[in-house]
Structure 1
Amino acid sequence: MALAARLEMRQGQALIMTPQLMQAIKLLQMSNVDVVAYVEAELERNPLLEREEGTGDNDGPLESAGTNEGAGSDDGPREGDWSEIDPTPSSEAIAARLDTDQANLYPEAEPATRERSGETPDGLSASAWSGVGGSGGDSDYNLESFVARERTLGEHLAEQLAVALKDPADKLIGQYLIDLIDEAGYLTASLEDVADRLGAAMADIERVLSHIHRFDPPGIGARHLRECLAIQLRERDRLDPLMQKLVDNLDLLARHDYAGLRKICGVDDEDLADMVGEIKRLTPKPGLAFGHTIIEPVVPDLTVRKGPDGGWIVELNSESLPRVLLNQSYYAHVTRSKLGDKDKVFLHDCLQNANWLVKSLDQRARTILKVGIELVRQQDSFLAHGVAHLRPLNLRTVAEAIGMHESTVSRVTSNKYLGTPRGVFELKYFFTSSIASSEGGEAHSAEAVRHRIKQLIDAEPANSVLSDDTIVDVLKEAGIDIARRTVAKYRESMRIPSSVQRRRSKQAPA
């Protein structure tokens, strides 16, 4: 059979991931902090995008759920000198565009309306509503920029090192050791490795480290917990031979094996109680008293509150969503000038990317709200009565209810948070596996069962500690069919000790 080249036409279907589609998927699974950072990068890269900084009435969001007035077209930016694409419309306006999902959820509720005034919706001031970076320019006076920076642990130790040691070689060794101390206050490398890297004698390393052990805070520079506690006890002049034996057997103290400790230390119950109390007053992580990484509070993407009719009102949190503007007048001005082919291509790409960005942000907000509304509808008993009434729920149930794919729901619920009257919860918190009912009734949520186990253990008396088998019997009487190994797994996930350890702890000398 002869081989020959020829042309053929074939028809087929294929899913092509365009850059725009990849951008929309990427934005959908980002947290609000990542979205703000992404938009900031786009603002620097795209000259046609600008941050909204106006505070006038025309800069506000869409007004109410009852109408589509003021809503932008999905075909692109509106005509005019300035075209505003608002990725943070009010939740009522988005609900109106979701085919009356909000109305179907709470048909008896009347559309909420807000008057246009000096304040924007949700009680936010105009400066807070303006989006990323605030509403002011570079000339705004920021008092926070003058707040004194918190001193770090390394700086605190370096100041003491300069006073304690005079020899330059000792100072170099000391600074190297300080750099190896983590934020908890522990030395993270072995002295042998330090000696090899610096080419110094082990005796010099140990001598400098002994100086650091006398620095403030007490216990700093220890290589393990026993040494940390011993340094603090020595500082208090309490490290006698009996206390040293107790420190050397912290594993028995962790297991509440007080009989073994009494035998090793050779003391009675009263003396052991005093020694254990002395240990409990020490600081296991002395370095945490100084400046370390600041933990940012979680900003919820959605908020839910009780409605006047008894239902639940779900709203987007405008603080977590950036607002951007598309400068159409600048685009028109530049296109009227003479441009080269490369400049025209660049400007066209900027316009296309800007349109896709604002559409992706808008679609992201709609999808998050749509999933949030369904989660509230499914878990309304949790909001009303607490975690014991959390229902079993999976991604498929939500996806089928709102007409989306499971992967989309999974992306939406990743790194997104819902602010409720009971606290702030990640959206994935509301998806829990089910545990069958022993009476053939409705299944129970795994999270609700975990909460029930914790309640039982917290209420157990000191003279009648509940074993895992006893907890299984109690739960089965309450209609929850659960195995003993499942109870043990849930108990360990909540870091609750076993019944033997709890019994020793509750029978320990006061």
Structure 2
Amino acid sequence: MLSVNLQVRQSQSLVMTPQLLQSIRLLQFDRGELQGFLEREAESNPLLRVERPAAAAPVRMAPGGGSDLEARERAAPGPTLQTHALSEIADIFADERERRLAAHLFADLDASGFLATDPLAAAGSLGLAETDALALLERLQAAAEPAGLFARSLAEALGLQLARRGRLDPVMRTVLAHLLLLARRDFAALARLTGERESDLPEILAEIRRLDPRPGSRFEAEEAVAVVPDVLVAGPVDGAWVVELNSRAFPRVAVRETYARRVASGCIEAEERQFLQNCQQSASWLLRSLDQRARTVLRVAEEIVRRQDGFLRLGVPGLRPMTLASVAEAIGLHESTVSRVTAGKYLATPRGTFEMKFFFTVAIGASDGGEAHSAESVKLRIGRMIGAESVDNVLSDDDIAARLRGEGVDLARRTVAKYREALGLPSSVQRRREMKARRLAG
């Protein structure tokens, strides 16, 4: 038998209002995104006035503190790689048709100065035979400066430089075709391929090392963006660090109250008055949200500085393990809020300018039961151990793990290998070959 019942249930749910969503977005905006958002708001709200921050003042660091903003802004930018590539094409090809074809096929270079796309694959769409496109490319590569520009690979870039010097003989061609063996210092295999004596190969290696593997790197990047820190850290003063917001990183927003009162005092229709009231409410909410954003950024920065006192005094060896959750718990915020605040925000410290995310590292356990170590400080130790090696004392990953355990760092061999690779350091076998090659070349 069917029946109809009326029941009352009570439940709680979080309703994300547009204002709350906007407040969350404001937290994760970086300086440029925030400026753009405020300018768009001012376009739709006649009561808002947004002032662009003054040009960022140079952030001077303590001696040895790394590069600063002044160093990034002190010189007028040089030509970009794209500009230089087009200039070389214009100089080399006098024929208008050839110049346009070359610009279309070859002007797109990556940061190293190599062709970013395969020009021969695009030749057909221009009604150009691959052989003709290849002939154009060879003319360009033979004359372009610096040598190696417009290459399709590292091996080709090195070959172009050797050809300019009259040194691209069959032996060199074979070595360039097997760069992986050269990188591994496998001179025995190269000797079999080239017919050269193994003892002569270090000299070839030394010659190749004098070439430029990235001929395009000497040019300015397409867009250089100066980092303006959100928070300034100075001191210590009386043993404590001084943490304050950088006013130049926060756009100034004002409400035209005089304008609002003058309009409201006139004879305006009800619809216009309602629009004006909505604008006032929106402006007031925005000012409160910006103030809350600034205070939240400062609270997070102060907690980071408090926990990373060792880094500020000693550098990377003093970096402590720290998680988003631990900082959030300490200052009474949600972990997701701390994550949004630290994204794209920068601290200027006496040791340099760092993104807030830099200070969050995983903890590496201590073998003696003492205080945990940060991953970055452990990487630094591994790099220093390898940097102090000699040809007769090259450390394996097991050796490094054992030494770290002796220093109170509990780290497995596979984790040592992962950190070593993250530092861009080769294996012990490759390092030993490199050192032997240097000794023979010297």
The two structures share one fold, judged by TM-score above 0.5 = yes
Hey, what does 1:371 align to over in structure 2? 300
Alpha-carbon distance, 1:52 to partner: 4.7
Distance 1:203 1:390, change over 3 A: closer
The one-letter code of the counterpart of 1:308 is V
Hey, what does 2:331 align to over in structure 1? 402
Distance 1:245 1:358, change over 3 A: same
Hey, what does 1:176 align to over in structure 2? 104
Cα deviations across residues 5-30 of structure 1 (Å, max 9, x unaligned)? Answer: x9986543221111111111111112
How does 1:205-220 map onto structure 2 within 5 Å?
Answer: 205-213=133-141, 214-220=143-149
How does 1:104-503 map onto structure 2 within 5 Å?
Answer: 150-213=78-141, 214-268=143-197, 271-503=200-432
Cα deviations across residues 308-334 of structure 1 (Å, max 9, x unaligned)? Answer: 311211111222111111110111112
Alpha-carbon distance, 1:445 to partner: 2.1
Alpha-carbon distance, 1:226 to partner: 1.3
Hey, what does 1:28 align to over in structure 2? 27
Hey, what does 2:43 align to over in structure 1? 44
Alpha-carbon distance, 1:128 to partner: 5.8
Cα contact 2:105–2:123 (8 A) shared by 1: no
More helix by share: 2
Q: TM-score, normalised by structure 2?
A: 0.86
Cα deviations across residues 185-228 of structure 1 (Å, max 9, x unaligned)? Answer: 22233344223211222222112112211222322222111111
Distance 1:159 1:382, change over 3 A: closer
Q: Structure 2 unaligned segments of length 5 or more: list them.
A: 58-74
Inter-partner Cα distance in structure 1 for 2:150 and 2:55: 45
Distance 1:430 1:250, change over 3 A: same
Inter-partner Cα distance in structure 1 for 2:347 and 2:82: 38
Stretches (4+) displaced over 6 A: 6-9
Cα contact 2:324–2:338 (8 A) shared by 1: yes
Alpha-carbon distance, 1:237 to partner: 1.9
Other structure's SS at 2:216 match: helix
Q: TM-score, normalised by structure 1?
A: 0.75
Cα deviations across residues 382-427 of structure 1 (Å, max 9, x unaligned)? Answer: 2223322322222222222212222212222222222222222222
Inter-partner Cα distance in structure 1 for 2:83 and 2:55: 36
Inter-partner Cα distance in structure 1 for 2:284 and 2:193: 74
Cα contact 2:364–2:411 (8 A) shared by 1: yes
Q: Which moved more, 1:389-398 or 1:165-174?
A: 165-174
Other structure's SS at 1:205 match: helix
Distance 1:365 1:434, change over 3 A: same
Q: Structure 1 unaligned segments of length 5 or more: list them.
A: 54-125, 131-146
Inter-partner Cα distance in structure 1 for 2:186 and 2:354: 38
Distance 1:401 1:222, change over 3 A: same
Inter-partner Cα distance in structure 1 for 2:79 and 2:360: 42
Alpha-carbon distance, 1:357 to partner: 1.6
Cα contact 1:177–1:187 (8 A) shared by 2: no
The one-letter code of the counterpart of 2:23 is A
Alpha-carbon distance, 1:169 to partner: 3.9
Cα contact 1:129–1:318 (8 A) shared by 2: no
RMSD value, Cα: 2.7
The one-letter code of the counterpart of 1:33 is G
Hey, what does 2:11 align to over in structure 1? 12
Distance 1:167 1:414, change over 3 A: closer
Inter-partner Cα distance in structure 1 for 2:319 and 2:87: 54
Cα contact 2:82–2:108 (8 A) shared by 1: no
Hey, what does 2:72 align to over in structure 1? none
